[in-house]
Every structure is written in structure tokens, then in C-alpha cells.
Chains A and B, each alone.
Chain A
Amino acid sequence: MDDWRNGGFGLYVHWPFCQAKCPYCDFNSHVTANIDQKIWVRAYLRELERIAQEVPGRVLNSIFFGGGTPSLMHPDTVAAVIEAARSHWPFANDIEITLEANPGSVEAGRFAGYRDGGVNRISMGIQALNDGDLRRLGRIHSVAEARSAFDVARDCFKRVSFDLIYARQGQTLEAWRQELSEALSMAIDHLSLYQLTIEDGTAFGDRYARGKLRNLPTEDTSADMYLVTQEVTAAHGMPGYEISNHARPGAESLHNLVYWRYGDYVGIGPGAHGRLTLNGIRYATECHLAPGAWLDAVSKGNGESLRSALTSQDAAVEQLMMGMRLSQGLNMARFESLSGNRIDSNRLSHLQELGMVTVSGTTLAATDQGRAVLNAVLRELLMD
């Protein structure tokens, strides 16, 4: 059996445009005034057709519209992509179709249209529940706008998730606990809670390098914030099922689970990545990054800029790296059959003694404490 079947099959559609660029964001997003969405629909459909010929007949578990700001897409654009996907692959009964949305009033006006086009889950980038921090994060919405957009979303969709960013400048442990409780009182079934990460090549990255990004929490405070987040969300019945994701049991994001369980996923749109198993070999795919370059390439028949076969060793590393993010962990037997190596038992028992991982049967999982230092746990597990 192909290994990807353990993780499922998903489709990622990248919409590369935003109204404004956020200073912490290192995603592939562009700010452009005039976008002819018809051209984009045609391009997405051509790409779907190309890939569908390579992996025909698979049951599709999820579609995810990410960006950029996909809530700038016209509902017809979204509907056309969903329809095309349905024409190529049978949909799973419980297929999850998510769209990332900016929590502004204009976007909220399109929510019903998205629902009618087939979207059944909305993920909103609210980021903070106070206006001062929203401004500092460069967001163009206010808390009041976000709340009303959230209300619209809740009326339109059964499943709504939103994102918050914590460990922000000047944020205390207590303030975060407060904000988190407030968020949990709004939340329906899913929350993504990200620690602010300063990425190179972003405005925050530059400011940080120049010493201008002050009052970031210390490593100790960040660690405490992480642990408090685990406790508080669990107490509210939305435990962390992944490093930064929390859900009521059964409401986990199926699409993201495809990544973390290392299934196959098609990535279309500028800069989108994919993993595809063809004839038993896992390929990493990447599309042209710049919107214009991608459109050009697609019009010539293929939007991919890179397709490389992963060694089974590299694939196993990715599987472990992704799987260990989940609180349920991963099946070591699956890892070992892919990599051809056993995980060193001395290292494993060392990590167990430190309380970083648990092993039960063939399941290896990181503890809360272990997930907080997952990079170190992975280095240890992967050391030969």
C-alpha cells in the first residue's frame, strides 16, 4: 500500500493577493489593484486537469483555499474550482472545504456566496482581540469588525475557526490568559493559536534585526504561555491536537491532518507546494512563485517550477517532523518501514526519561513539554 493512504488526499489552492501586507507574514502574497478573476479561474482549471491525469480516481478528502487573502476571491471563482475538482475526483462523504477569510465587513458579505459554492468551513485571521495590538500587527480590521464578521460566518457555516497570535510585544502571561478565555467564549469548534515568530525577510524581521522590536516575551514567558494555552484550551474542551491547533474532538481540520499525517496533497496556484506519490515514489512539487510567472507557465501547460523525487529517507524525515506535531503522535512502524531505519532505542528511552515523549505500542507521541521543544526532540530522534 502506498504510504500516502495513511494520511489521505487533499487539494490546496493558493490565492496570492492581499489588500495589505502584514509585517509578520512570510507567505507568498502580493498587493495588486486589478485582478481579472476569469484568467485565474482558467489557470486553476488547467492545472487541476493536468494533475488529475497523473493521479486519477483518488477520493478527495479536502480542499483548502489559502493565501494571500482568499476572501478576496469572487464566490464564482471559488465555486468553479470546487466544481472542477469534483469533476476530476470523487469527493469523500465528509469532504472539508475551507476558505481563509479576512474578518472585514466586505468579506463577510461574500460568505453566503462561498457557502453556496460548496465551502463548508471558514478560517478567519482575527489575530488579536484588542485594537492596539491589531494595529501593531498591521491588520486592517478592528476587533468590532472582526466580531461582526465572525457572527456572519457563524450563521453561514457549521464550522468556523479563527487564528490568534500570542507572545506579542509587551504581552504578559496574564493578559494572554484573559484574551484566550475571551476567544474560547466565542469559539465554535476550532482555534489556531500561534506564537509570534519573527521570520527573516519580513518587516518584523527587519525591525528585530535593527533592535527595534522591543518587549518581546522571554523564552521562559513564551514557554509558560504555551503551557497555559494547553491547559486553558483543554479545560474548555478544545485541547491542542497539534502544536498550534485546538479543536473539539471530531472538529480537527481534515485538510491540515493530511499534511501532518503525511498524506498526498496537490498544490496549485503561485508558490503552492505539493506532495504526490507516483509509482510508489513521493515527489515534492512547487509552482512558480510570482503570480505573472505562474500564469505564463500555466498557459504553456504546466505551472510547476520544480518536481523532485524525495528519497525514502527524506520522506521519512518529513513524516516524523510533521507527525510529531500531533498530540496523537505517529506510528513508528510506518516511519521505520519508510526510512528503513529503526529509531535508536537509547535516544528514545533518554527522551522518555526526560518526559519529552511517550511510547505506547508502536505509537510515538510528544508530551506537552516535548512539543514545546519539538525541534530539539526531532534533532535527537533523527541523529544517526
Chain B
Amino acid sequence: MTELANIRNFSIVAHIDHGKSTLADRLIQETGTVAGRDMKEQLLDSMDIERERGITIKANTVRIDYKADDGQDYVLNLIDTPGHVDFAYEVSRSMRAVEGSLLVVDSTQGVEAQTLANVYHAIEADHDLVPVLNKIDLPASDCDRVAEQIEDVIGIDASGAIQVSAKTGQGIHETLEAIVKELPAPTGTRDAPLKAMLVDSWYDAYLGVIVLVRIMDGVLKKGERIKMLSNNSTHHVDRIGVFRPEMEVIDELGPGDIGFLTASIKQVRDTRVGDTITHEKKGTEDALPGFKPAQPVVFCGLFPVDSSEFEDLRDAIDKLALNDASFSFEMETSAALGFGFRCGFLGLLHLEVIRDRIEREYNIELITTAPSVVYHIHMRDGTMTELHNPADMPDLTHVDHLEEPRIKATILVPDEYLGDVLKLCQDRRGVQMDLTYAGSRAMAVYDLPLNEVVFDFYDRLKSVTKGYASFDYQMTGYETDNLVKMSVLVNDEPVDALSMMVHRDRAEARGRAMVEKLKDLIPRHMFKIPIQAAIGGKVIARETLSAMRKDVTAKCYGGDASRKRKLLDKQKKGKKKMRQFGKVDIPQEAFISALKMDS
């Protein structure tokens, strides 16, 4: 058992690519927690997708033993939090589990939008912050400027910022000392009823669900019965331990400790992030504040390219959902795409991660329909329903008004690109809330409708700023607006998978862009094909794909038969891969490409 005074719990706040994971790796290495030969890059990111994309999706933790310069032994618990806005709730819970943070800023880049978003989480959790300027080995490093920027933008004293190169190891020892000296020790009472926060959980094929906990008060031991306060479910604890970063079983976890428990829990769904865990008997009744169930904000349809793989897709989704309580799904049938699932996600990254995992880990090729946000439909009879799929839009005669979700978006950008960024936000119905400068960088804060952002806003932002902008957002609530459902008709038949909600004032422009795009995406057929965008029964844009006129092999004699037959077989397979809509074949990529806006 470690005295509270010798425990430090901390997280690392950083923008993507500012070196958070590398710094964590160095801290682990410096203290000898992992033998050199077991070191691999980004030790804490265990999923392939996390390593590849350089992002953290699940919270990870490691317990580091450190003998400080004052001669005392300390236990340092690092929680590596997810860095992305999609997982903002998970981030906020992880922050509540620790008392301080290292604020890591790339000294060649400066403060970015994600740095800010995460700093706010840390400040909200009353953290003490230790500024760390990373990548000082690079020639472009400018510590004075970045320290000044931290003071300007974030408003904390950065004069004592530690200068670090996680790559070379310079400044790592100083960082460890600062953690001990400048971050507070946790508080808590050993004799009080058990009160632990469920920080995160994941599924392990051998152990069942592994629950990451932070003990606030009391002591947790193996063999005890515990209770989740959110649903009063009870479990028998069969294992407790800590991560170093491999699992190490120990006898008990006391106040201030961060560790794991297993209790033969079958589904991650039964363990809610932010929940309070206590003993079944003589437990606490006070839940920790701030718990809320996961709420998907972006929905899209996932359909197998090969319709015979629907059952495989169901299987894959069921398995992924076991390990991800924030991911929701229900079966969906589309006239164009057949059977699939309407899935709900915490955000676009979450969507991409799930989609990639289905395609890679389960080897199922997917058609992803355009992401949609959740609209609130207020009916004339006073009831409100949620709309997850534009195809389900009810008859307008029963609808009183619609509300759409809005976000507060923070964009940091070098000022030469500011004009393009402001135009982009304007084009996406944004309302400027703030515009400030820090050095040669501008920070624009916009109130934007989420539906203008979910699709390709981030791609556009990256392209107009050549990748120099950083972007983060948080949901702010719902607002009424003049929204309509735009349907697309190909050869006079509505294609449900292409329908979308748009603002009335933008419908014509969107409709025109969409039919023009489709005209290029759909191959010519033997007949001409009208492509229309319509609101209700009214056509707002129309293009005609003219008929194919020439497609024949000029010479075909005895020596050509085999080759031409094989070519025909190949073309037939290509045609089969498209989606038949009435008499029209639509290529899969059209369902997503048609919705991308060029401006």
C-alpha cells in the first residue's frame, strides 16, 4: 500500500501529433517500467487503427514506480486519454480520475484546437497543469514563442515550462520531477464506504470485460461483491490489478489508486463510463457527479457490398457493439442497397473507426451512406420524434417545425488562410462568435449546424488551409431552422439512399450540385436517364444523362472469341457490383461521392 502523499495521478493533454504517445513511452522507459527489449512505438495504443492513425481511442493506463530526487518512492498513474472530440465524454471522465495534467505542446507548431479543447476538460476537472514543450530537437522549435502563446491563449503561466525532446529523451527526468513536485497528491479516506469511478472498460476474450477504475474512497479487494450505481447490477470481483502496462494482479486497490477489476462481466454495455462502483453491502449511495449515458450524434447506413454478406455484417456489428457501448444500431432496409444497418456514432472519427474495423477485422466490404445528424421533428399534435434517417421523414402536413443540432466550432489557422476558412464557415451557415489572434495564428469560433459539418467539412477545411488548420467542436444544443428533405430521382424513381435534409435556402444549389455530380458518376446506359432533385413533388434541379451511342467491338473473328468472352465476363462482374435501381445501374461510390460538395 502506497501512502496517498506518494501517489500522483495525471494525464497528458495534447493535440494530435504533438508527441503525447512518444512522451508516455519515454516516461515508461526512463523509470524502467518496461524492459528496453519490450519497447515498441506507442506502447499504450493497442489497436492497429490507433497506431496507424496516431490517435488514442480507448483510455489506457500505466502505473509507474519512480524514485524521486528527494529519495522517496512514488507511484505515478498515467491515464492516456482519447484525444478526439468524438470521445469528449470519455475524456472528461478520464480527467476526473486524475488530479493533474501535463500540457504537451509541439514547440515547432504551437497551440492547436485540440490542445484547447482538452485543456478546457482539464481545467473543468480542476487540474493543476505542467506545461511541456516537446520536439525541442527540431530546428523549427521556438520555445519562447510557444510559451508566450500558451500564456496568451490558455492563460496559464508557462515561464517554467519544461523543454523536452521525447525523441531523444532530453527533459524526461525533469518532467518526472515536475510531476512529483508540482502535481497534487490524491485525497480520499480508506475507512469510508467504497466509491470508485468506472473510467473505461473493454472486452478481453479470456477475462471478459476489464473495468478500469479509480478508487476515490475505501478499499477494493478480490472476492468482494460490487454494485454499479447506475443500474444496481451486482458482480463478484474475481481479479484486481494494475497495468505496468501489462496486467499485474495485486491484492487490493485503495484511495487514489488506478487499476482494473474483472468480475465475469460479459458485455461492455453493462459497464457505463462514469458510473460509480461500490460494495453491494454497506456501499455508498452517493453517485459521482457527471455520469451520463452515451448519446450517438451521427447516423449512417452500413450495407454489405455483397448482399449475401448481410449475416456476416450482423455478426460483426453485434461483436463490435459488445465492446462499445456508445455505438448503436438497428436493421435498415433500403430499396437501393438492400439489407443493412442504421448505425449511430459519437462522431465522424468514431464512424470511420467502426467502419474500418468491420472492413479489416471482419473482411466485409461496405457501402456507407451519407452521415446524417439527429433532427428533432415537432409534430402538429405537439409530440416530438427524433429523425435518424432522412428517408424516414414523415408527411410534411403533420410536421410543425424541425430542429437541428448545432455546435460551437473552434478553428485555429495561420492568418493567410483565414479568409478561406471564414468563407467556408459562412457557406456552411455558420455564425461567427469570436475571432482573435495569437501571433500569426487566428482563432475563429463559429456556431455551426452539425449537419453542415458531418460530411466533408473537415476535408474541405484541410484542403483550403493546406492542412494547417486545426479544428474542434462541442455540441451546443438544438435550434429551429427551415429544413426540408431533398429527394433524388434517377430515371423518375426516388433513390432513398441519396435523400438528405437541407436548409431550404440552400436546397437549389445542393440539388444542382448533386445532379451534376451524379451525371458524371452514373455510367451511360442504352437509354437517356433523367436525374432530378426534388422537394416534395417539386423538382428543383434536373440533368439528363444522354444515352450511350457507341460500344461495340469492330473486329471479332475466330481468334478473338476467347479474349472477348473473358472481357464480357469481366464487364458483367463490374455491372453486377453496381446497385440496380429500376433499369439503372448505380456504382457504389456514387452514394457517397454525390454528396461531397466542392465549395
Please report the C-alpha to C-alpha distance between residue A354 and residue B551 in the assembled complex, in whole angstroms: 16
Q: Are B526 and A382 in contact (CB under 8 A)?
A: no
When A and B form their complex, which 3 residue pairs have the shortest distance between CB atoms, in order from nearest?
A223-B549, A223-B550, A273-B559
**Does A143 make an interface contact (CB < 8 A)?**
no
**Does B192 make an interface contact (CB < 8 A)?**
no
Q: Are B551 and A374 in contact (CB under 8 A)?
A: yes
**Does B527 make an interface contact (CB < 8 A)?**
yes
Which residue of chain B is the closest to A266 with respect to CB atoms? B558
Q: Which of A216-239 contact B (CB under 8 A)?
A: 219-220, 222-223, 226
**Does B433 make an interface contact (CB < 8 A)?**
no
Q: Are B548 and A373 in contact (CB under 8 A)?
A: yes
Q: Are A382 and B555 in contact (CB under 8 A)?
A: no
Which residue of chain B is the closest to A193 with respect to CB atoms? B554
**Does B207 make an interface contact (CB < 8 A)?**
no
A15 CB to nearest B CB, Å: 13
Q: Are B559 and A267 in contact (CB under 8 A)?
A: yes
**Does B557 make an interface contact (CB < 8 A)?**
yes
B520 CB to nearest A CB, Å: 15
B313 CB to nearest A CB, Å: 24
Q: Which of B561, B562, B571, B583 is packed against the most chain A CB atoms within 10 Å?
A: B561
> Beyond A321-B561, A378-B568, is A244–B550 a contact (Cβ under 8 Å)?
no
B526 CB to nearest A CB, Å: 5
Q: Which of B537-573 contact A (CB under 8 A)?
A: 548-559, 561-562, 564-565, 568-569, 571-572
**Does B575 make an interface contact (CB < 8 A)?**
yes
**B interface residue numbers (CB < 8 A to A):** 525-527, 548-559, 561-562, 564-565, 568-569, 571-572, 575-576, 583
Q: Are B572 and A376 in contact (CB under 8 A)?
A: no
Report 9 cross-chain contacts, Cβ distance below 8 Å, ordered by A residue: A194-B554, A271-B559, A314-B565, A373-B548, A373-B552, A374-B552, A379-B575, A382-B568, A382-B572
Chain A residues in 8 Å Cβ range of B571: 375, 379
Q: Which of B526, B562, B569 is packed against the most chain A CB atoms within 10 Å?
A: B526
Q: Are B526 and A376 in contact (CB under 8 A)?
A: yes
**Does A274 make an interface contact (CB < 8 A)?**
yes
Chain A residues in 8 Å Cβ range of B559: 12, 267, 271-273
Q: Are A373 and B526 in contact (CB under 8 A)?
A: yes
Interface size in chain A (residues, C-beta < 8 A): 47
Q: Are B549 and A273 in contact (CB under 8 A)?
A: no
Please report the C-alpha to C-alpha distance between residue A243 and residue B555 in the assembled complex, in whole angstroms: 8
A104 CB to nearest B CB, Å: 22
Chain B residues in 8 Å Cβ range of A273: 558-559, 561-562
Q: Known pairs A286-B562, A322-B561; list 16 more (Cβ under 8 Å).
A: A10-B558, A12-B558, A197-B555, A219-B550, A259-B557, A259-B561, A265-B558, A273-B561, A275-B561, A284-B562, A317-B565, A321-B565, A354-B526, A372-B552, A373-B551, A373-B552
Chain B residues in 8 Å Cβ range of A372: 549-552
Partner of A373, one of B550, B562, B568: B550
Chain A residues in 8 Å Cβ range of B564: 321
> Beyond A314-B565, A356-B526, is A195–B558 a contact (Cβ under 8 Å)?
no
Chain A residues in 8 Å Cβ range of B555: 194, 197, 244
Chain B residues in 8 Å Cβ range of A288: none
Please report the C-alpha to C-alpha distance between residue A382 and residue B556 in the assembled complex, in whole angstroms: 18
A68 CB to nearest B CB, Å: 12
A355 CB to nearest B CB, Å: 9
**Does A377 make an interface contact (CB < 8 A)?**
yes
Please report the C-alpha to C-alpha distance between residue A267 and residue B555 in the assembled complex, in whole angstroms: 18
**Does A190 make an interface contact (CB < 8 A)?**
no
Q: Which of A284, A354, A376 is packed against the most chain B CB atoms within 10 Å?
A: A376
Partner of B565, one of A256, A318, A354: A318
Q: Are A226 and B562 in contact (CB under 8 A)?
A: no
Partner of A197, one of B549, B554, B557: B554
Q: Are B548 and A259 in contact (CB under 8 A)?
A: no
Please report the C-alpha to C-alpha distance between residue A321 and residue B564 in the assembled complex, in whole angstroms: 8
B331 CB to nearest A CB, Å: 28
Q: Which of B525, B527, B550, B571 is packed against the most chain A CB atoms within 10 Å?
A: B550
Q: Which of B552, B561, B572, B575 is packed against the most chain A CB atoms within 10 Å?
A: B552
Chain B residues in 8 Å Cβ range of A383: 572, 575-576
> Beyond A321-B568, A375-B568, A383-B575, is A219–B556 a contact (Cβ under 8 Å)?
no
Interface string of A355-384 (1 = CB under 8 A from B): 010000000000000011111111110110
Please report the C-alpha to C-alpha distance between residue A243 and residue B553 in the assembled complex, in whole angstroms: 8
Q: Are A256 and B557 in contact (CB under 8 A)?
A: yes
